[in-house]
C-alpha cells in the first residue's frame, strides 16, 4: 500500500549534478522535511538495502549516493575491478523506497584534485589505515563533500566497515557537521559471510571458503581464553585453510580502536579482521563483537 501511495506522489529521481541535487533538497528542507543520506559506491546488495529501508522509515526524504570514489583506492587495480551496476542499483533503490539517487561523475565531484588532508589517529592509522595508506583520507574527502551537499539530518553506514564509522565520527566532530551517524548491523548470508560488494568477485569455491572467516571468529567467541590466545586461534585456524590468508586480526577497543591486552581493558571490545581469499586474491573484511 505504502509503495502504491508513494508511486502516486513521487517517483525516484536520479540526479547527476550537485547544483540540481542542492536545489531539489532546498525545496524539501523549506517544506520542513527531514533528510536521510545513505552513501554508497554502488554494486548494491541486501546490506545496502537494509540501510536504505531504515533511512526511509526514519526520514521524510532518503538520498542514496552512488559514487565509486577514486580517492579512497590506494590500489588502482582494486578500483578497476570494482563492480559497476548502476541500472540494477537503481532498481533495488526504487524497491527500497529511496527518493533521490545522486550518481555524479568523477569530474563533477573532483573538478580539481582534492588536496585536503584528514588525520584522526589512532582510528585512521591502525588496521585498514596502516595497510591501505590514504584510504581513510579519501573516505573523509568524499563523505565530507556529500555531507556538505546534502546536509542530511541522519547518515547511515553499515557496521561491516566498522573502522570507517569510527573515522567518520571523528571527522563529524572535527568539522562540526550537525547530523546523526546511524550505524546499521552487518547483514550476513545464511552461512555467516558478511554481505559485501566484493563477494561478487569471488568464484563459487572462494565464496564457500570465505564463510570460514566468520565461522572461526564465532568459534573464538566461545573459547574464553586470553586476548592473545583468542587472537592466535583466529589467525592460525584461518591460515590453516588453503586459499585464505589473514592480513591482520586486531582485538581493539570499539571506540578508540586501540589494541586491548586483556578482556578487562574495556567494556566495548571488537575483533577486526582482513583476509585475502582465493587466487586473485579478493580482500575481505569482517568483525565480531566480543563485549
Ligand atoms: O563504505 C563505502 O561504501 C564507502 O567508503 C563510502 C562511505 C560510500 C565512501 O565512498
Q: State the residue for C-alpha cell 584534485.
A: 113
User: What pTM value is reported for the model?
Assistant: 0.92
Please give the distance of CA 248 from its chain centroid, rounded to a whole number: 19
Q: Is the CB of 139 under 6 A from ligand 1?
A: yes
Mutate to test the pocket of ligand 1, among 37, 51, 72, 138 (most ligand atoms within 8 A of CB): 72
Best CA proximity match to 141, nearest among 48, 198, 67: 67
CATH numeric code, 2-184: 3.40.50.620
Residue-wise pLDDT for 67-97, tens only, equals 999 999 988 988 998 899 999 999 999 999 9
161 Cβ below 6 A of ligand 1: yes
Which backbone phi and psi does 14 adopt, to 5 degrees? -105, 125
| Catalytic machinery residues | 48
Give the residue, out of 49, 55, 64, 69, with the most ligand 1 atoms within 8 A of its beta carbon, to mutate for a pocket test: 69
Give the pLDDT score at 197: 87
H helix or E strand, kind and range, residue 181: strand 180-184
DSSP secondary structure code for residue 251 in this structure: E
Task: State the pLDDT at residue 9.
Answer: 56
Q: For the chain, give every residue range classified as CATH 3.40.50.620.
A: 2-184
pLDDT at 271: 97
Distance (Å, whole) CA 162 – CA 168: 10
Distance between CA atoms of residues 92 and 188, nearest Å: 18
Strands 282-289 and 154-158: unpaired
37 CB under 6 A from ligand 1? no
Least confident segment among 102-116, 169-183, 193-207: 193-207
Residues with Cβ within 8 Å of residue 20, at least 6 apart in sequence: none
CB 188 within 8 Å of CB 37: no
Exposure string of 33-50, with b = 16+ CB inside 10 Å and e = fewer, is: eebbbbbbbbbbbebbbb
Residues 214-262: tens digit of each pLDDT:
999 999 988 989 999 999 999 999 999 999 999 999 999 999 999 999 9
Report the nearest atom of ligand 1 relative to the CA of 68: 10
Does domain 197-289 bear CATH number 3.30.1300.10? yes
Confidence grade of residue 181 (pLDDT, cut at 50, 70, 90): very high
Distance set, CA 69 to CA 22, 29, 136, 144 (Å): 20, 27, 12, 12
Helices (H), 82-127: 86-96, 106-109
Q: CATH 3.30.1300.10 residue ranges in the chain?
A: 197-289
User: From CA 155, how far away is CA 148, in angstroms rounded?
Assistant: 12
Amino acid at each position: 500500500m505504502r509503495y502504491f501511495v508513494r508511486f502516486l506522489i513521487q517517483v525516484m529521481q536520479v540526479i547527476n549534478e550537485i547544483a540540481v541535487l542542492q536545489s531539489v533538497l532546498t525545496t524539501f528542507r523549506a517544506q520542513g522535511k527531514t533528510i536521510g543520506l545513505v552513501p554508497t559506491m554502488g554494486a548494491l546488495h541486501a546490506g545496502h538495502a537494509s540501510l536504505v529501508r531504515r533511512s526511509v522509515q526514519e526520514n521524510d526524504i532518503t538520498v542514496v549516493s552512488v559514487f565509486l570514489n577514486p580517492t579512497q583506492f590506494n590500489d588502482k587495480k582494486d578500483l578497476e575491478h570494482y563492480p559497476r551496476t548502476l541500472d540494477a542499483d537503481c532498481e533495488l533503490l526504487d524497491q527500497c523506497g529511496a527518493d533521490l539517487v545522486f550518481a555524479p561523475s568523477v569530474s563533477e565531484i573532483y573538478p580539481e584534485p582534492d588536496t585536503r588532508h584528514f588525520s584522526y589517529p589512532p582510528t585512521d592509522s591502525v588496521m585498514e589505515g596502516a595497510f591501505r595508506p590514504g584510504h581513510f583520507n579519501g573516505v573523509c574527502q568524499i563523505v565530507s563533500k556529500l555531507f556538505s551537499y546534502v546536509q542530511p539530518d541522519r547518515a547511515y553506514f553499515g557496521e561491516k566497515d566498522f573502522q570507517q564509522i569510527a573515522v567518520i565520527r571523528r571527522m563529524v566532530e572535527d568539522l562540526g557537521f550537525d547530523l546523526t551517524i546511524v550505524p546499521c548491523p552487518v547483514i550476513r548470508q545464511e552461512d555467516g559471510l558478511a554481505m559485501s560488494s566484493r563477494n561478487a568477485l569471488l568464484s563459487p569455491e572462494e565464496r564457500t571458503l570465505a564463510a570460514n572467516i566468520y565461522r572461526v571468529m564465532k568459534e573464538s567467541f566461545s573459547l574464553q581464553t586470553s586476548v592473545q590466545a583468542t587472537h592466535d586461534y583466529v589467525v592460525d585456524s584461518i591460515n590453516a585453510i588453503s586459499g585464505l590468508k589473514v592480513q591482520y586480526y586486531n582485538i581493539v577497543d570499539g571506540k578508540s580502536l586501540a589494541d586491548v591486552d586483556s578482556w578487562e581493558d574495556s567494556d566495548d571490545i571488537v575483533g577486526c579482521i582482513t583476509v585475502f581469499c582465493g587466487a586473485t586474491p579478493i580482500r575481505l573484511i569482517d568483525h565480531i563483537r566480543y563485549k
